[in-house]
Amino acid sequence: MKAQPPASHFINGAYVEDTSGTLIDVIYPATGEVIAQVHAATPAVVDQALASAKAAQGEWAAMSGTERGRVLRRAADIIRARNRDLSVLETLDTGKPLQETLVADATSGADALEYFGGLAGALTGEHIPLGGGDFVYTVREPLGVCVGIGAWNYPTQIACWKASPALACGNAMVFKPSETTPLGALKVAEILHEAGLPAGIFNVVQGMGEVGASLVTDPRVAKVSLTGSVPTGQKVYAAAAAEMKHVTMELGGKSPMIVFDDANIEDAVGGAILGNFYSSGQVCSNGTRVFVQKGIKEAFLSRLKERVEAAVIGDPLDEATNFGPMVSEGQLGIVQRYIDKGVEEGARLVTGGARLNRDGFYIQPTVFADVTDDMVIAREEIFGPVMSVLDFDDEAEAIARANDTPYGLAGGVFTADLTRGHRVVGALQAGSCWINTYNLAPVEAPFGGVKMSGVGRENSKAAIEHYSQLKSVYVAMGPVDAPF
Ligand code: NDP
């Protein structure tokens, strides 16, 4: 199985190679096989990418929004037409089942390109009337060169979620994918150029953290958008602050899902599965602390166990498979250590817990019950298929415990009482909430966290605020009234 791209980087409208950069093996998580190799960007490559973005941005910004939007919408059409090929590549890059990548990765990237492509021509300032005929008008300007840095769980989607609003607003972007999954973003760059994007407006450079760090500190960069862990977010945010750069931080979480005893059990179990095991649990907004009201605890757990044990674990390229491997041996090791910790701390292992005896980085979907708030598995982000089920008695207690975390990315509630549903999400300290479902993130809805889970929002009209700045212009219509 091979997925070798033509070269490691995509700069100024073309593939670029510099073999003096550190060699990075791209590993297919289902077999452990090396399917491609790329080189990390050298300082010269980083410089080339930033220089071409800087040189091209002004002309792109000078085009009308409708023209810019047309390019993005064309790219969306190309992505949809090639969805199967792109999904296979995403599966090879990440190990996620094709059943998932066919509907959740390139397609959600296309949604973002289409949505922001449509919005580009509608970006305007406003007119603010003042006394005496004076007025102020505002101009929505691009920021300049933006840097996007991605995590490995949604390589194609993350590239598109960052590129779409950035480009719609007239910015240029240099994007660095995670070294674990370098392939998808190159395809996004290729397709954007095929759709008519001018050279230099979207560039991809490969590399580890230090390449990201060199991008963040470069004075040509006006904004950094990171999807990653909280510790990386803290470093990047601090580095960006030195030059007062704009940031969007999409970071980790330990989100709560609260299931009341009047909830439809089948839906609540379905929500818990969606919110814990999709992408083998490697989703930032996962509801990994499932608070279940005592009255339905046993019924919930027994149905959950039944459904989790019916997961089809296997070859991700087989469309019948709905649960694939972890992205890497390293991530598998982290998850195994958390599972051991859960057992050691006295949580009850309901199902799963073991590595599969086959090639690749497979671990069973795992459910712990009788988890308490102080256990490590209930406090730290695992970023793998490990669900903690905790019991609760009443609403106030559930809310207080749900909020007792430094994170605040997401939260969900399952109840038949809609008044309670709204009341509870109203009290949750979280950026993205769901009532009677979980983890749906359409491009129309703002997405992002509060507390340590990040700053800024992706998707929706809100993202425009994070990729543009307002200039306000005061216009006097009468004589200047000076004191002397
Ligand atoms: P990391 O934080 O390890 O890495 C994120 C990206 O930042 C990678 O491309 C990484 O490069 C790069 N990086 C690392 N150090 C630096 C630095 N000092 N300066 C600039 N860039 C740097 O996250 P993971 O890739 O392990 O992804 C998992 C995390 O991402 C989880 O915590 C998850 O919750 C979060 N996440 C958040 C989402 C959200 O929208 N809120 C969505 C998806 C994931 P490299 O890894 O190549 O070294």
Mean per-residue pLDDT over the chain, rounded: 98
| pLDDT for residue 62 | 98
CA–CA gap between residue 95 and residue 93 (Å, rounded): 6
Q: What type of residue is 3? A: A
Question: Does pTM surpass 0.85?
Answer: yes
Q: Whose CA is nearest to atom 8 of ligand 1?
A: 178
Residue 192 has pLDDT above 90, yes or no: yes
Pocket test of ligand 1: the residue of 27, 158, 178, 329 to mutate, having most ligand atoms within 8 Å of its CB, is: 178
Do 277 and 308 touch, CB atoms closer than 8 A?
yes
pLDDT band of 34, cuts 50, 70, 90: very high
What percent of the chain clears pLDDT 90, i.e. is strictly above it?
A: 99
N- to C-terminal Cα distance for the chain?
80
Q: pLDDT per residue over 212-235, tens digit each?
A: 999 999 999 999 999 999 999 999
pLDDT value at residue 1: 77
Q: 227 CB less than 6 Å from ligand 1?
A: yes
Q: Which residue owns the Cα nearest ligand 1 atom 34? A: 252
Confidence of residue 7 (pLDDT cuts 50, 70, 90): very high
Count CA atoms closer than 13 A to 10's CA, side-chain side: 28
For 304-327, write each residue's pLDDT tens digit. Answer: 999 999 999 999 999 999 999 999
Where residue 452 falls among pLDDT bands split at 50, 70, 90?
very high
The pLDDT value recorded for residue 471 is 98
Contact 372 CB / ligand 1 (< 6 Å): no
Residue 69 confidence (pLDDT) above 90: yes
pLDDT at 384 over 80: yes
**In the prediction, which pLDDT does 186 show?**
98
What pLDDT score was predicted for residue 117? 98
Q: If residue 237 lies in a helix (H) or strand (E), which one and from where to where?
A: helix 230-241
Rounded to the nearest angstrom, the distance between the alpha carbon of 37 and the centre of ligand 1 is 20
Give the pair of three-digit tokens for residue 98: 């094709």
Ligand 1 within 6 A of 156 CB?
Answer: no
Q: Work out the average pLDDT over 436-441.
A: 98
pLDDT tens digits along 401-430: 999 999 999 999 999 999 999 999 999 999
Question: Where does the pLDDT of residue 236 fall: very low under 50, low under 70, confident under 90, or very high at 90 and above?
Answer: very high
Residues in the chain: 484
